[in-house]
A and B are shown apart, each in its own frame.
Chain A
């Protein structure tokens, strides 16, 4: 306890940043496999928050169920680890009850796209000011390697032993079409870019989504012979194409590649602000009476 206070008082050095935002009382190591991308995302999130100089007390991190959703336990904010797929719905309640709080959702592809798909699109539609960091490793890690709505067609999973015959979601397109204000994609290889994308997402008023392409070498990599963590992360390096470059390339050059960066941004009205305007309007009407 005393140690925590001391850390708070002194100027946080860049090298201390991560420790400043981790829970001093939480026992480590974490639950993730060695080489997992989740830790990189956590680091990027912490650095983005630090850069924005936000008060730890004003940040709420909400998650659902899955490997990535275990992240809030380690973070020294207000944290809410909820039920499978419902993180965005819980976050909607938190944000509405106290709009001054910064609400960040950490979720995975199975959590947000399968069981939570409905909440996801409706939160985009409302354009409520929540930041969603969606870690996409294309598989259910925690339950042991079943296919998810983002598993590549033809890829193997424990519930797709003969190859996945389902088509996958393009999360970024889905969010843009549903009405999100800020839609970006990063990878765990491009850590500095990821940090900037998350920073931009937190600053942006309205619903922001950062899809993070990550690796599950334990299941996806092993079942699809994509190698270990290093091999999978190297693959991201070779196949990611920044949006600035991608728009100039002919379509045939983009085969097998994926776009990263800030992909879609608009300035639509935000849900809580609209609601507050209504409250204000009714108050004025009442006062006139």
Chain B
């Protein structure tokens, strides 16, 4: 950062862009535990938060980190943590707690190779399914996948917005290369990007119910210390937050967790399509791979191959309608990922019946190259 700190145009790493995005979104609290390749996010916020009057704490482990984040969020803070696969694994029980208690928070997972400690300094996209199914039980997750430094900034802001708006944890899935890659980016002016705040109650404390059923299914959220005294529990609870075992109340609660997000998917989905109008072949990829795909389809177009690209930036909930619409006239679909095949199964589920789905995976810790994708395009053509 150093000499470029004050400028409008800055040379930033993906991880640093996450830091700047969080600050833009109004972060108040960060708790984390060091893990490669996410550490620059903690280091950046350790430096920036005290100067902004926010609070930073390095906890004793990842479980404590996400716990502190949820505690702070319930006390009214916009709160975030960052980690990588093994740390995310430790966090998932408490992320489930955040789903259940409808606590807004942001978790950045800078992916490395796995399973286990795997490849700490190498790229991977093998936590894609973990971001959806990490914790136990039924819930609907939101996960975003940026592919450039600027998108790291924008998607972190969007993650805060979605988490505050829907009272839910949101995961930002980046990766080792994106986290450490430097690019020039023009810093957005204040007001240029939307910044959302959580819905607040406007009724007397005596009438307040922390898990009120509203038309949007999202309940206004009072913070601790604001005069609304309520109970928060990870046990299945009624609208007031008291544990319940009544079947109708259990159903209501679990449906609420799901519907509050699924009814607004149109506003959560974000998909980029490129040259899909006349495409007979589609390359679907997300994160860093999408950049290689962009390059590959340009190379293929020069060779007069009718190929287009689809890049979901919201990967959970999976943007079914948008992607299946884009795939309407496509005969062949290539799904490129840095894993052994995670999103490809979602594409198989929604691909047109007469289209063939091909998988291009890489899991040796190296980036996907445009040439690799181009070779696959030529192979399936």
Q: How far is the CB of B34 from chain A (nearest CB, A)?
A: 15
A58 to B226, CA, bound (A): 8
Asked if residues A73 and B233 are in contact (CB atoms below 8 Å), the reply is yes
A57 to B208, CA, bound (A): 14
**Of residues 85 to 144 in A, which have CB atoms within 8 Å of B's CB atoms?**
86, 89-98, 100-101, 118-119, 122
* B240 contacts the other chain (CB 8 A): yes
Binary interface encoding of chain B residues 65-85 relative to chain A, with 1 for a CB under 8 A from any of its CBs, else 0: 101111111111101000000
Asked if residues B28 and A92 are in contact (CB atoms below 8 Å), the reply is no
* B97 contacts the other chain (CB 8 A): yes
Given the known A-B contacts A79-B231, A90-B70, are A97 and B64 also in contact in the complex, defined by CB atoms under 8 Å?
Answer: no
Asked if residues B224 and A76 are in contact (CB atoms below 8 Å), the reply is no
The interface residues of chain A lying within 8 Å CB-to-CB of B240 are 25
Asked if residues A60 and B68 are in contact (CB atoms below 8 Å), the reply is no
Asked if residues B206 and A1 are in contact (CB atoms below 8 Å), the reply is yes
Given the known A-B contacts A81-B234, A83-B67, A92-B71, are A97 and B229 also in contact in the complex, defined by CB atoms under 8 Å?
Answer: no
* A286 contacts the other chain (CB 8 A): yes
Asked if residues B50 and A279 are in contact (CB atoms below 8 Å), the reply is yes
The interface residues of chain A lying within 8 Å CB-to-CB of B65 are 89
A97 to B229, CA, bound (A): 17
* A5 contacts the other chain (CB 8 A): yes
The interface residues of chain A lying within 8 Å CB-to-CB of B72 are 93-94, 96-97
A62 to B75, CA, bound (A): 12
Flag the segment in B55-63, B154-162, B319-327 that touches A: B55-63
**Of residues 78 to 109 in B, which have CB atoms within 8 Å of A's CB atoms?**
79, 93-94, 97
A80 to B50, CA, bound (A): 27
Asked if residues A96 and B61 are in contact (CB atoms below 8 Å), the reply is no
Given the known A-B contacts A81-B234, A83-B94, are A1 and B207 also in contact in the complex, defined by CB atoms under 8 Å?
Answer: yes
Asked if residues A122 and B206 are in contact (CB atoms below 8 Å), the reply is no
Given the known A-B contacts A96-B55, A279-B53, are A78 and B224 also in contact in the complex, defined by CB atoms under 8 Å?
Answer: yes
Partner of B232, one of A80, A91, A95, A100: A80
Binary interface encoding of chain B residues 216-244 relative to chain A, with 1 for a CB under 8 A from any of its CBs, else 0: 00000001111101111111000010110
**Of residues 1 to 41 in A, which have CB atoms within 8 Å of B's CB atoms?**
1, 4-5, 23, 25-26
* A82 contacts the other chain (CB 8 A): yes
The interface residues of chain A lying within 8 Å CB-to-CB of B63 are 86, 89
A72 to B29, CA, bound (A): 25
Asked if residues B64 and A122 are in contact (CB atoms below 8 Å), the reply is yes
Partner of A60, one of B50, B57, B75, B206: B75
Asked if residues B71 and A90 are in contact (CB atoms below 8 Å), the reply is yes
For this complex, 19 residue pairs linking A to B, each with C-beta atoms less than 8 Å apart, are A23-B231, A25-B240, A62-B71, A72-B231, A77-B229, A80-B71, A81-B232, A82-B97, A83-B93, A89-B65, A90-B70, A91-B71, A92-B59, A93-B73, A94-B71, A96-B57, A97-B29, A98-B224, A278-B50
Chain A interfacial positions (CB closer than 8 Å to B):
1, 4-5, 23, 25-26, 56-58, 60, 62, 72-73, 76-83, 86, 89-98, 100-101, 118-119, 122, 275, 278-279, 282-283, 286
In the A-B complex, the 8 residue pairs with the smallest Cβ-Cβ separation, listed nearest first, are A93-B71, A93-B68, A89-B67, A97-B72, A97-B75, A93-B72, A89-B64, A90-B71
